[in-house]
């Protein structure tokens, strides 16, 4: 089942609000934004996202929730602050001036890291990221189902066009024969009865060989069937394979179009190429 690169997921867990947004991108580009005090977890969070994403631009934004019990007190070393206060006050008495709490805060060691071990923050944060990624992946899978339904309908149209091409190509030699005979009659006029039938049949045989599209039609049918097989596979990350297969389908259509000797066949090829382009637009959204 194909999975879209576009999606959104979020979670509020353990005092964190996590948002995950994905858009189309040729490669995998993951960006994680975390509060400054959680910067040690930026790389682990990115690694966690990489386990769920193979292609696309993904932005992860992690913020602290303002719910009750989340706020933590400042990590103040009160004993050291008192010592600094006594020393600064003594200096103020000796040399003049005033001492404020801001002066004490600027001194090293007074306001430090929270006493809570930073490593203890990762497990609850990871739970929130996992929940947001689950929601994100579900959204991408739902969009992937819609993409598959649309692409499958267009593939059915291509199959019908393939059959129409086979029918149109069957009368191509006869059409060329009549066209050649008519042209020769216009050029020769009264001498048209002197047309070398043997020579004309040789020219028709050469044209038939140059305009034969049997191999192209066989390959086109094979590519379409293979494309449908990949779409139906359980692998969600098939965007690159589908894009390559569309190139092969388009190559066969170009060859058929260049060999076409009848307007009907040319029109079918144009319609088929337009349908392939619509499929390509959808494939660009697949991871």
Listing DSSP states for 187-222 in one string gives: HHGGGGGG--HHHHHHHHHHHHHHT--HHHHHHHHH
Q: With respect to residue 132, please indicate whether it lies within any of the assigned structural domains.
A: yes
pLDDT of residue 168: 85
Domain closes at, from 104, 139, 174? 139
Question: In this predicted model, which residue has the larger pLDDT, 218 or 185?
Answer: 218
For residue range 166-216, what is the model confidence (pLDDT) as tens digits? 888 876 666 666 666 666 566 556 655 655 566 666 666 666 656 678 889
- Domain presence at residue 64: yes
**One domain for residues 17 and 79:** no
- Residue 13 sits in the same domain as residue 95: no
pLDDT at 68 over 70: no
Higher pLDDT, 152 or 263: 152
The predicted structure's pLDDT at residue 139: 96
Query: How many domains does the chain divide into?
Result: 3
- Do 239 and 129 reside in the same domain of the chain? no
> Are 266 and 183 within one domain?
yes
Query: Is residue 2 one of the residues assigned to a domain?
Result: no
**Do 3 and 141 form a contact (C-beta atoms < 8 A)?**
yes
Predicted TM-score (pTM) of the model is 0.70
Residue-averaged pLDDT of the chain:
85
Whether 83 and 96 share a structural domain: yes
- Among 83, 106, 139, the domain-final residue is 139
Is 182 within the bounds of a domain?
yes
- Tell me which residue range forms the domain holding 42: 7-70+120-139
User: Considering the domain boundaries, does residue 1 fall inside one?
Assistant: no
Residue 5 or 182, more confident: 5
Q: Which residues are paired to 16 by β-bridges? A: 13, 64
Most confident residue range from 63-67, 125-129, 196-200: 125-129
- Which of 89, 107, 139 terminates a domain? The answer is 139
User: Kind and range of the H or E element at 276?
Assistant: helix 263-283
Q: Which residue has the higher pLDDT, 258 or 203?
A: 258
201 and 261 housed in the same domain: yes
Assess if residue 196 is contained within a domain.
yes
> At which residue do the structure tokens 């913020």 appear?
63
My answer on whether 46 and 133 are in the same domain is: yes
- Same domain for 130 and 99: no
Tokens of 160: 């019908």
Q: Are residues 126 and 82 in the same domain?
A: no
């Amino acid at each position: 089942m194909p999975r879209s690169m576009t999606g959104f997921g979020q979670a509020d867990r353990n005092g964190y609000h996590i948002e995950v947004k994905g858009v189309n991108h040729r490669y995998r580009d993951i960006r994680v934004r975390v509060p400054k005090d959680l910067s040690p977890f930026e790389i682990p969070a990115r690694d966690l996202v990489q386990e769920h994403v193979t292609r696309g631009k993904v932005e992860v934004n992690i913020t602290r929730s303002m719910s009750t019990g989340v706020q933590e007190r400042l990590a103040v070393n009160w004993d050291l602050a008192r010592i600094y206060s006594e020393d600064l006050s003594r200096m103020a008495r000796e040399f003049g001036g005033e001492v404020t709490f801001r002066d004490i805060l600027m001194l090293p060691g007074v306001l430090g890291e929270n006493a809570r071990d930073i490593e203890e923050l990762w497990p609850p944060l990871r739970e929130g990221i996992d929940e947001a990624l689950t929601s994100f992946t579900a959204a991408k899978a739902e969009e992937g189902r819609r993409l598959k339904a649309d692409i499958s309908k267009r593939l059915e149209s291509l199959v019908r066009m393939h059959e129409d091409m086979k029918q149109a190509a069957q009368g191509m030699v006869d059409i060329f024969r009549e066209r050649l005979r008519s042209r020769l009659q216009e050029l020769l006029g009264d001498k048209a009865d002197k047309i070398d039938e043997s020579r004309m049949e040789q020219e028709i045989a050469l044209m038939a060989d140059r305009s034969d599209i049997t191999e192209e039609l066989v390959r086109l049918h094979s590519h379409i069937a293979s494309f449908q097989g990949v779409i139906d596979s359980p692998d969600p990350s098939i965007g690159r394979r589908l894009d390559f297969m569309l190139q092969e389908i388009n190559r066969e259509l170009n060859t058929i179009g260049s060999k076409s000797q009848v307007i009907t066949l040319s029109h079918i090829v144009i319609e088929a190429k337009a349908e392939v382009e619509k499929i390509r637009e959808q494939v660009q959204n697949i991871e």
